[in-house]
Amino acid sequence: MSKKRIECGIDEAGRGPLAGPLTVAVCMIYNTRRIMHIEQNMRGVKTPYRDSKQLSPEKRNKIYRMMQSAQKEGFLDMHHVHIAPHILDEKGMAASLLIATQKLLAHMQKKYGYTHDDIIVRCDGRLYAPSTYAHRETITKGDTKVLSIALASIVAKVRRDRMMMRLSRIYPEYGFDQHKGYGTKGHYTAIQKFGASKVHRKSFLK
């Protein structure tokens, strides 16, 4: 017998930077009532939820820690994948996003024994679930409308920022800790001086 359908939200961080991974995350909520304290921290003024990019790094990390506690208690689950720069260069953005989404959903299915029909997949913006998922939806600005997507956006942003902080210690000359790989004036200056590193997206620098 098929299990009760569970909703998952999917969002990404790092679509536009010149360096570092594309990070895509999924969030499944099992008990909305028990995570109301997290939802309250996400509430917006003009929209139901605030865009994660509008939150300070401190606020995002606070919400992420709250999500980790809720995950341990079984009220939600979350997972993320990093798509490396060389994959982005080889496959392109659209294909890379689909690869990441497939990996996330496959992970959740394997972990819990879900079938394609068990999962309602809600994706933000230009993200799309594979057509094999009958219950799928892409929602414009979904991270400001759907809680599971809003929380997935927090996971993606926090995990990518942490990766960029680690990369900044390996490649200190580029200042990844400051701009997280985005195309700032200082970043372009560093690329001109030192050339592209192994974690730069070569196709973005053409």
Task: Work out how many domains the chain is built from and give that number.
Answer: 1
Q: Which domain does 138 fall in, by range?
A: 6-204
Q: How far apart are CA 122 and CA 11, in angstroms?
A: 9
The pLDDT assigned to 2 comes to: 44
In a domain, 57, yes or no: yes
The pLDDT assigned to 125 comes to: 92
Three-state secondary structure call for residue 20: coil
The pLDDT assigned to 124 comes to: 97
In a domain, 1, yes or no: no
Query: Sign (positive/negative) of CA torsion 138, 8, 120, 23?
Result: positive
In a domain, 165, yes or no: yes
Q: How far apart are CA 187 and CA 82, in angstroms?
A: 22
Q: How far apart are CA 85 and CA 77, in angstroms?
A: 27
CB 151 within 8 A of CB 9: yes
The pLDDT assigned to 58 comes to: 96
In a domain, 55, yes or no: yes
Three-state secondary structure call for residue 178: helix
The pLDDT assigned to 5 comes to: 85
Report pLDDT digits (tens) over 141-171. Answer: 999 999 999 999 999 999 999 999 999 999 9
In a domain, 20, yes or no: yes
In a domain, 52, yes or no: yes
Output the pTM of the full model.
0.95
Closest C-alpha to 146, from 5, 52, 13: 52
Interstrand relation of 119-124 and 136-139 (parallel, antiparallel or unpaired): parallel
The pLDDT assigned to 3 comes to: 54
The pLDDT assigned to 4 comes to: 75
Q: How far apart are CA 27 and CA 8, in angstroms?
A: 5
Q: Which residues of the chain have pLDDT under 70?
A: 1-3
Our CA angle for 71, 125, 59, nearest 5°, is: 45
In a domain, 169, yes or no: yes
CATH number at residue 17: 3.30.420.10
